[in-house]
Amino acid sequence: MNVGPNACYLDQQREVPMALELRKLSHALGAEVCNVDVSKVSEALFGEIYHAFLQHGILLFRDQNITREQHIEFSRHFGELDRHDALPRDRHPEHPEILLVTNEPKLDGSPSDSRYTGRQWHSDMSFTPVPSLGSLLRGITMPEVGGDTVFANMTLAYETLSDGMKALIADLHGIHLSGTRKIANDDSGVTRATEQKRLNPPIAQPVVRVHPETGRKALYLGDKVKRFDRLTEEESKPLIKYLNEHATRFEFIYRHHWRANDIIAWDNRCTMHLALGDFDETQRRHMERTTVLGTPSGYVV
Ligand code: OGA
Ligand code: MN
């Protein structure tokens, strides 16, 4: 089908009760769902949405001016939601299913705990024994410019490796550490990092994961991995660097410039993402996320 980059098109490949209008976001991954109000989604329509989710890795829904309850309700279609026991500081006090990603100071005026969330390539909850299936992030208050999020297609990253490299990494496990790269350089940052480490001991995850629904293999790595299990950091570093750089080449990514009331649902099993700090930090950036529980993976080292 020949559609322009900005045109929505009907997914007429399949005979379905209701066709989604989709617009591709980049060559590598992602689609915008143009004609859906996420607060009014039937089971039949959700079937179509989930099909598109598996196919495109990330889905964008624009202009979704919804309540927290509606955000949670829509997310529950994807599966059971995480109550964020691994990240207790960042969850909403009244809605444990909502994780705050915000630079809005706390009520006492101290800086937000989650202002540097996502500032390294990662897949959500990879540092736990039950990594997430997917996440749904809603942009609420966005800075005037910047504060973009970049997504990478890890299936494509895996499939474009040579046969030799695929064989080399087939049985490797990467050790995923909790915590962010950029932490606040004060007591709050140090306390948070210590607490996160205590709650989340290092977990070894397969470097190649088989997607439980599509059956396709994807790279599972990112910047939370400092070494492979049974190898030293020195031995691991060059290969981790190579694989992460390979996976995040321009041709494998989509960079999203947020508008207020955008929701992006991403598949954590075959994509990774990065929050860019390319904005004026005196401006507000407030986002809220739900996290869908995945299946157990990896082992404690
Ligand atoms: C997240 C995350 C990225 C961003 O919510 O999981 O990594 O750009 N956020 O805020
Ligand atoms: Mn994230």
**Do 192 and 116 form a contact (C-beta atoms < 8 A)?**
no
Interval 156-174: pLDDT, tens: 999 999 999 999 999 999 9
Instruction: Give nearest CA residue, ligand 1 atom 1.
Output: 118
CA of 238 to the centre of ligand 2 (A): 24
What average pLDDT score do residues 202-215 get?
97
CA-based nearest residue to 298, from 211, 174, 196: 174
Look at 163-172, 184-193, 195-204 and tell me which has the smallest mean pLDDT. 184-193
Ligand 1 centroid – CA 109 distance (Å): 23
Q: Whose CA is nearest to atom 10 of ligand 1?
A: 275
Can you give the pLDDT at residue 168? 98
Residue nearest to atom 3 of ligand 1 (CA): 275
Cβ neighbours of residue 261 under 8 Å, at least 6 residues apart? 62, 63, 64, 65, 66, 138, 139, 140
Catalogue the E-assigned strands of the chain.
9-10, 21-24, 31-33, 58-61, 99-102, 134-141, 149-153, 173-176, 203-206, 208-210, 217-219, 225-228, 253-256, 263-267, 271-275, 286-292, 299-300
**pLDDT higher than 80, residue 185:** no
Instruction: For residue range 120-130, list pLDDT tens digits in order.
Output: 999 999 999 99
| pLDDT tens per residue, range 244-262 | 999 999 999 999 999 999 9
Ligand 1 pocket, mutate which of 137, 262, 264 (most atoms under 8 A from CB)? 137
User: Average pLDDT, stretch 83-91?
Assistant: 93
CA 118–ligand 2 middle distance (angstroms): 5
Q: How confident is the model at residue 210 (pLDDT cuts 50, 70, 90)?
A: very high
Q: Which has more confidence, 155 or 188?
A: 155
Is pLDDT at 152 greater than 70 in this prediction? Answer: yes
d(CA 46, CA 77): 7
Amino acid identity at 63: D
- On the question of pLDDT at 3 being above 60, the answer is no
**CA-based angle 121:126:127, to the nearest 5?**
105
- Report the separation in Å between the CA atom of 169 and the middle of ligand 2, taken as the mean of its atom positions: 24
How many angstroms is it from 12 CA to the middle of ligand 2? 33
pLDDT of residue 191: 76
pLDDT of residue 2: 45
pLDDT at 4: 53
Q: What is the rounded average pLDDT of the residues 213-238?
A: 98
Please name which ligand lies nearest the alpha carbon of 278: 1
pLDDT for position 1: 44
Give the pTM: 0.93
The verdict on the CB of residue 103 being under 6 Å from ligand 1 is no
The fraction of the chain above a pLDDT of 70, given in percent, is: 91
Q: Per-residue confidence at 198, pLDDT binned at 50, 70, 90?
A: confident
Here the tokens at position 90 are: 């960042």
Q: What's 252's DSSP letter?
A: G
Average per-residue pLDDT for the chain: 93
Distance between Cα 87 and ligand 2 center (Å): 12
Q: For ligand 1, atom 2, name the residue with the nearest CA.
A: 118
Atom of ligand 1 nearest to the CA of 291: 6
Residue 298 corresponds to which tokens in the numbers above? Answer: 């990896």
Q: How far apart are the C-alpha atoms of 267 and 291, rounded to whole Å?
A: 10
Domains annotated for the chain, with CATH where assigned, are 24-295 (3.60.130.10)
In the structure, what pLDDT confidence band is assigned to residue 11 with cuts at 50, 70 and 90? low
* Residue 10 predicted with pLDDT over 80: no
**pLDDT score at 19:** 85
Q: Exposed/middle/buried for 73, CB within 10 Å: 0-12, 13-18, 19+?
A: middle
